[in-house]
Amino acid sequence: MAKISVSTLAKKKQAGEKITSLTAYDASFAKLFADNGVDAVLVGDSLGMVLQGSDDTLAVSIEDIAYHTRCVRAGSRDLFVIADMPFMTYNTVAASCENAAKLMRAGANMVKVEGGEWLHDSIRALTQQGVPVCGHLGLTPQSVHVFGGFKIQGRDQAQAQKMIADAQALEQAGAQLLVLECIPSALAKAITDAVSIPTIGIGAGNQTDGQILVMHDLVGISAGYIPKFSKNFLAETGNMPAAVQKFCEDVKSGAFPGPDHEFN
């Protein structure tokens, strides 16, 4: 596969070509995904739940993410690797820069932060220092206690309008990618239309510029709760490479996510 960059993803949006993305935490799966058509991987703080067995993502440290970023980078030189900034590692501009540097040195191409307009100064500082940034709106797992649980966001008009404004503010600050999680499909489309940067959906319908799934959901091995927006592609295909290929094909064709995987 050709080496993927920020400009590659931007061109995909401009061309109307869907972006395919999965979470990854080690070299073996990074290579599997690179070999079977995945454009980008996220070293997510979801590792706190799927690897460490926690109830949420809050205990994940910057050292955890840096370690797994190094592992993922070792599996593929060409994949576009996004690394999560964990809980309370970007609460100030100085902390944002210090911790983002650790992830970029570990092999990330971009860092991801959760939140809206309040991140403007940190995103501006990061991009000025050469760190590409991905925003994350909607159900932001690091705010689970504020939300009162893992709940759909943006269903009332005021919240929806605030989310659109936040998306535009993140782009204006310099963000080059945006994850939209667990929001109504119509709102995801409105945000996608309101910004020029690519949007990656998870539980946000199929009108975003791309899709991401937690890899454990892709192969049906998530412990406990199975999200509505997930699909077990391994059960459908019978082997791991075929499951990844089918995910990519269905995302690109618009077949996934379907009506059963979205929120109204």
Instruction: Measure the CA–CA gap between 61 and 21, rounded to whole angstroms.
Output: 23
> Among candidates 263, 156, 155, which has minimal Cα distance to 208?
263
Q: 46: annotated binding-site residue?
A: yes
Output the six-digit token pair for 90.
Answer: 């970007």
Hey, which residues are catalytic here? 181
Q: What is the 3-state secondary structure (H, E, C) of the chain?
A: CCCCCHHHHHHHHHHCCCEEEEECCCHHHHHHHHHCCCCEEEECCCHHHHCCCCCCCCCCCHHHHHHHHHHHHHHCCCCEEEEECCCCCCCCHHHHHHHHHHHHHCCCCEEECCECHHHHHHHHHHHHCCCCEEEEEECCHHHHHHHCCCCCCCCCHHHHHHHHHHHHHHHHHCCCEEEEECCCHHHHHHHHHHCCCCEEEECCCCCCCEEEECHHHHCCCCCCCCCCCCCCHHHHHCCHHHHHHHHHHHHHHCCCCCHHHCCC
Q: 121: annotated binding-site residue?
A: no
Instruction: Measure the CA–CA gap between 16 and 27, rounded to whole angstroms.
Output: 30
Q: 84: annotated binding-site residue?
A: yes
Instruction: Measure the CA–CA gap between 255 and 250, rounded to whole angstroms.
Output: 5
**Positions at the binding site for Mg(2+):** 45, 84, 114
**Positions at the binding site:** 45-46, 84, 112, 114
**Positions at the binding site for 3-methyl-2-oxobutanoate:** 45-46, 84, 112
